[in-house]
Amino acid sequence: MRWPRCAEADDGSGEQGSAVVDFVLVLVVLVPLFLAILQLALVLHVRSTLTAAASDGARYAAVVDREPGDGAAFTRRQITGALADRFARDVVADQTAVDGALAVRVRVRAEVPALGLWGPALSLEVDGHAIEEEAP
For 82-98, the pLDDT digits (tens) are 999 999 999 999 999 98
pTM of the model: 0.80
- CB within 8 Å of 38: residues ≥ 6 apart: 115
Domain boundaries, the chain: 20-131
Q: Taking 80 as the threshold, does the pLDDT of residue 1 lie above it? A: no
Quote the pLDDT of residue 115: 74
Confidence of residue 17 (pLDDT cuts 50, 70, 90): confident
Query: Residue 36: which pLDDT band, with cuts at 50, 70 and 90?
Result: confident
First-to-last CA distance in the chain?
91
